[in-house]
Amino acid sequence: MKYSDWKSLNEADRKAAGWHRHPHIKTATLFIIAFIVVFIIVILGISKNTTVHLNRKPTAQEAFNIAKVFVKERLKQPSTAVFPDHNFKPAIDTAQNSYQLQSTVKAINADGKMEKADWVINMHYTGGDWSEKTSWKVESVNISLKN
């Protein structure tokens, strides 16, 4: 029903008409639906934002987290690697962006036995997001088995 038709109805016909035939209700319903769709799109857009690490020098813990990735790549069975959460020794020179970290790792060797090894990594932070491997230059990784 058009708005012009609605205006021509008498009071009894207006009351007899169902809500779905009322022109103002149709318009309001369309605006409400449009508002809900836009609201959902905005909420989904906000929730999909990923965490971006600020362009600052990494802390010792952040360097340790990325160092574990580089050490894991050099193990024979990287999926079995178990690193300590906070047991590491950092030597950091922030003026040179130089990071040396020492820690241990437990992993299964080629014989199927769990072995514990010490590791030392020397790396330089080249800038960017510290959690990206491309932001680091690895100079050396030494992994030695504990007896």
DSSP string covering the chain, please?
A: --HHHHHHS-HHHHHHS-GGG-HHHHHHHHHHHHHHHHHHHHHHHHHTPPP---SSPPPHHHHHHHHHHHHHHTSSSGGG-B--SS--EEEEETTTTEEEEEEEEEEE-TTS-EEEEEEEEEEEE-SS-TTSGGGEEEEEEEEEE--
Nearest-angstrom CA–CA distance, 104 and 121: 11
pLDDT the model gives residue 85: 83
pLDDT the model gives residue 104: 93
| Pairing of β 114-125 and β 89-93 | unpaired
Nearest-angstrom CA–CA distance, 46 and 41: 9
Q: Which residues of the chain have pLDDT under 70?
A: 1-3, 6, 18-25, 47-55, 147
pLDDT the model gives residue 1: 61
pLDDT the model gives residue 141: 94
pLDDT the model gives residue 118: 94
Nearest-angstrom CA–CA distance, 93 and 146: 28
pLDDT the model gives residue 82: 92
pLDDT the model gives residue 21: 58
